[in-house]
Every structure is written in C-alpha cells, then in structure tokens.
Structure 1
Amino acid sequence: MTRAKQQKPAAPATPPTIPAIPKPDVPARLAALPGMPIGELKAEWRRLFGTEPPPYNRRFLESRLAYRIQELAYGGLKRETLERLEALGEQIDGKNNTLRRIRHEQRPIAGTRLIREYQGVEHVVTVTRDGYEWQGRPYRSLSAIARAITGTRWNGWTFFGLKGRPGA
C-alpha cells in the first residue's frame, strides 16, 4: 500500500517590502558602508533592492548601496531624466537589442578589471566603454581575448568566470 503525496499549496509570490529610509539617517548609513564586511553589504543589498546582489566587486556594491540609500530617502531620478538616459544609451548601441541587453543586464561596468590565471600566467582585462582592453590593445569581445590567450576558441564569458553567475 502506498501513500498519496499531498501537494502543498504554493505560497503567493509577494514582492519584498523595501524599507523607507529617514532623511536624518542617511549620513550615518553612508559613512557605515566602507566599514561593513562584505557579507553585511550583501545583506543590505537584499534589504534595499529585494534581489540577490550581483557578482561585482566591493566598490561597486558600496557605490550602488550609497545611491540606493539616498534614492529611498530623497527620491529617485525624474521620469524625464530616465528617458534622456535611455535615449543616450540608444545612441551608443544604435538600437541593437543584443548590445542593449548586454549593456543593461550583463556587461560589467567600465573600469572593472577581470583577472584570469591561465597556465601560470595572470591575465588582466579592463572593461572599457566600447569593449575590453588586454595588454594595451582594444578588443570588441572577451571571446577574442580568450582565443588570443589560449590559442583555441572559448566563450569569453565562461573563460573569465562571468557565465552562470547571478546577473550574468
């Protein structure tokens, strides 16, 4: 005799409640960010954004959290400003949806350094506004850099450890 499994009702998906930040608390909260351990920064990200933190460096997390704290206390950008920024972004990517998606969702911010050790040699790639730079030369893709390093075809995002991470 077998028992029928009872299915549990699915919990309703409710968006997380983002706390309002009182204006007088802003300076102290901003000053506390540099001294927080990375685990606390990530927990603060979860509280203030309601999502998992992206796999970027500490400086990125601190700067985005600082902006978010001020945004929640004083308000965000005006709709007109957001529209203008979107229009400027479209001028850069030429309304190419693939570039827009990479620009918006995945591509690390300009100035980010990607470090990969391959066969005992450390390779440093810097993300630029227009692509990437490795050994003083500009490249349009990480795959081209991975190919230059290894001599074989690689997915650049996989080679540099960006594929499969949250936000990637």
Structure 2
Amino acid sequence: MTRATKSKPGSTPALSIPAIPKPDVPGRLAAIKTATTPDLKQMWRELFGAEPPPYNRRFLESRLSYRVQELAYGGLKPETLARLEALGEQIDGKNITLRRIRKDQRPITGTRLIREYQGVEYVVTVTRDGFDWQGRPYQSLSAIARAITGTRWNGWLFFGLRKASA
C-alpha cells in the first residue's frame, strides 16, 4: 500500500511514499530517537520525498515522528486544516509575504543559533517575537551581530541562515 504526495500543477510528478503498517509505528518512533543525524536526513528523504530542511536535530525528530504516524494513521481532517489556515490568516492579516517568511525562512521558535566569532561561542535563541541573546530580547539578528562584532552585518549571513550571493 502506498500513498502519493500531493503535487502542485505544473510541477514534476509526485513520488510514491510507502504507507507505514500500524504495528511498525512504535519501532519506527524508537529508531528515530537513536538514529544519527545523517540517518534522520535519509529518513526525511524517504518519508517526504524531498531534501531535509536545515533545521536542528530536535525539529527533524519531531517532524519525522509526526510523519511516521501520519503515514500509518492518516493526517489531519480537512476541517482541522481549514481551521488552522483561518487562524493563521487572523494572525498575519492574510499577508502572504509574512506567512512565507515565517514558514520558509525564519527558524522555528526555540531554535538555538550558535556562532563562533573570534574564538568565542555565541548562542541566540529564536523567540516568538524575535530573538534572545544574553537574556535580552532583540527584534533582528542584525542587531545581535552588530552588538557582537561592533560592525554592521546582515544577521542572516552572520549566523549562517543565508548564503552570501556570488
């Protein structure tokens, strides 16, 4: 038994993702906790049919655990998905740009960004409203990068979230 992933019009044909038998779920979930990060990334490719995102191990574990259960028991009901979409629109005022930034670029809340600079390791935590560094809230990574280096930096580049253009 297999489940096909949804494809967008005009895109390449969807890959066939195998359904997971319900008795296999506990073993698969246990395997996720003990797997190495490269193994988790390979599981991602198998279960999603796409390259894994550059998020931390904890995110990969939680999303893979959900995906295993989703393939075994089914996903959210259409009514639930519609409700979640409606709630998202209330938050961002139907501004698709804000939604895309949150979804595609901004790290998830709780993510720790670690950067070594001049032999010192700096840790920034992503919060719901921005970023936290040394117990102080910041609205942007650029402000934190400037505080660390004393010069203007693109915060996304400084913390390795975006590659410099050629």
Distance apart, 1:91 and its partner CA: 2.8
Query: Within 1, Cα distance between the matches of 2:143 and 2:136?
Result: 11
* 1:156-167 equivalence runs, <5 A: 156-164=155-163
Query: Within 2, Cα distance between the matches of 1:150 and 1:92?
Result: 34
- With the length of structure 1 as denominator, give the TM-score of the two structures: 0.84
Letter in 2 for 1:15: A
Query: Within 1, Cα distance between the matches of 2:91 and 2:157?
Result: 26
Distance apart, 1:84 and its partner CA: 1.7
Letter in 1 for 2:94: K
Paired position in structure 1 for 2:129: 130
Q: Which has the higher contact order (CA 8 A, sep 6+)?
A: 1
Structure 1's unaligned 5+ residue stretches are 1-11
Q: Could you say which structure has the larger radius of gyration?
A: 1
Query: Within 2, Cα distance between the matches of 1:80 and 1:104?
Result: 21
Size of the alignment, in residue pairs? 154
Describe the SS at the equivalent of 1:18: strand
* 1:80-159 equivalence runs, <5 A: 80-159=79-158
Query: Within 2, Cα distance between the matches of 1:68 and 1:109?
Result: 18
- With the length of structure 2 as denominator, give the TM-score of the two structures: 0.85
User: Over the residues paired in the alignment, what is the CA RMSD in angstroms?
Assistant: 1.9
- In structure 2, relative to structure 1, the CA distance for the partners of 1:127 and 1:119 (3 Å cut) is same
Structure 2's unaligned 5+ residue stretches are 1-10
Letter in 1 for 2:61: E
- In structure 2, relative to structure 1, the CA distance for the partners of 1:90 and 1:130 (3 Å cut) is farther
% identity of equivalent residues: 78
Query: Within 1, Cα distance between the matches of 2:61 and 2:16?
Result: 21
